[in-house]
Amino acid sequence: MSGDRGMTRRGFVLSLLSGSVLALSGASFLRKYTEGGMRAPAFIARAGDYEGEIASLIIAGLRELGINEKEIAGRKVLLKPNLVEPRRDCAHINTHPLVVRGALEAFLHMGADQVAVAEGAGHSRDSMLVLEESGLATVLQSDGIPFVDLNYDPVYTTENLGNRTKSKTFVLPRLLQRFDILVSMPKLKTHHWTGVTLSMKNLFGLMPGEFYGWPKNVLHHQGISRSILDINATVRPHLAIVDGIVGMEGDGPIMGQPRHVGVLVMGRNFPAVDATCARIMGIDPTRIEHLAGASGWLGPIAEKHIIQRGETIAAVQTPFRLIERIPAQRDIHL
The pLDDT-based confidence of 284 (bands split at 50, 70, 90) is very high
Of residues 21 and 184, more confidence is placed in: 184
* Contact predicate 222/162, CB 8 Å: no
The conformation of residue 329, written as its DSSP 8-state character, comes to G
Angle between helices 136-143 and 127-134 (to 10 degrees): 90
Report yes or no: 89 and 133 within 8 Å, Cβ to Cβ: no
Domain 37-329 has CATH 3.40.50.11440: yes
Cβ-proximal residues to 97 (8 Å cutoff; 6+ apart), any chain: 134, 135, 136, 138, 139
193 close to 224: Cβ distance less than 8 angstroms: yes
pLDDT for the residue 91: 79
* Rounded Cα–Cα distance for residues 262 and 48 (Å): 5
Instruction: Fill in the amino acid letter for 72.
Output: I
pLDDT tens per residue, range 94-127? 999 999 999 999 999 999 999 999 999 877 777 7
- The pLDDT of residue 156 is above 90: yes
Question: Minimum mean pLDDT among 5-9, 200-204, 315-319: which range?
Answer: 5-9
Delimit the domains of the chain by residue range.
37-329
State pTM to two decimals.
0.91
Instruction: Please say whether the beta carbons of 205 and 82 come within 8 A.
Output: yes
**Range of weakest confidence among 45-59, 131-145, 259-273:** 131-145
Give the ranges where the chain is alpha helix by DSSP (H): 9-34, 54-64, 69-72, 97-109, 127-134, 136-143, 209-212, 217-222, 224-235, 270-280, 289-294, 313-316
